[in-house]
Chains A and B, each alone.
Chain A
Amino acid sequence: AQSVTQLGSHVSVSEGALVLLRCNYSSSVPPYLFWYVQYPNQGLQLLLKYTSAATLVKGINGFEAEFKKSETSFHLTKPSAHMSDAAEYFCAVSEGGGSNYKLTFGKGTLLTVNP
């Protein structure tokens, strides 16, 4: 069964600082991995995805994530935080079969950006 662990329910950084949001997964087969962002009162928006191509994945808004199989990790980073990055971030894994491919989410990390 697939599962996701996000370390740190709340991360606070200063504007311009590095953002690092951690995600570890458990999967019995090669996974598809995703990062979604949720702004207040909005739905989930895809930031980036890993689908077994390049291990370093670039997404929108300057975010990127690196798939490390040996560490079962898919941490999200951004070199320089912006105030507009303040949101909740969810890591998700998909490994279904047949006609499913459901997503299993982590508990989310709330990112606060301080001026």
Chain B
Amino acid sequence: EPEVTQTPSHQVTQMGQEVILRCVPISNHLYFYWYRQILGQKVEFLVSFYNNEISEKSEIFDDQFSVERPDGSNFTLKIRSTKLEDSAMYFCASTRDRVGYEQYFGPGTRLTVT
């Protein structure tokens, strides 16, 4: 069964460093999302991406964040200068169509900023 994959599973970085979180969505999916879950809190929407552009972003997704689909398979989230409060589990999700279709989630990348 096709699945969304994410790498790495755990990333430790120092404050101020850049990190890139990678996702490979399901191959025939067209809509892509990043969510994050700070420990003990709910899963929060960060950004949605369709047709090679951002379709919506939350207030969390400030200028330090960017997303890219550099080729036909990868979908990346970059944080330019990490802060302590960026420590969270980051989930990538994809869906084939938007109307009534469930989003398929990857296993997540746990980002720890020290």
- Residues of chain A at the chain B interface (Cβ within 8 Å): 32, 34, 36, 41-46, 49, 51-52, 90, 92, 96, 98-108
Contact = CB atoms under 8 A, between A and B. Distances in A.
Contact of A42 (B31, B93, B98, B107): B107
B105 interface: yes
Dominant secondary structure of chain B at its interface with chain A = strand
B4 A43 contact: yes
Nearest to B41: A107
The size bracket of the interface on B is: 20 to 34
B84 to A, nearest CB: 22
Contacts of B25: none
Contacts of A41: 107
Interface stretch (B13-21, B49-57, B62-70, B71-79): B49-57
Contacts of B100: 32, 49, 51-52
Nearest to A36: B105
Contact of A43 (B31, B41, B42, B107): B107
Contacts of A43: 4, 91, 105-108
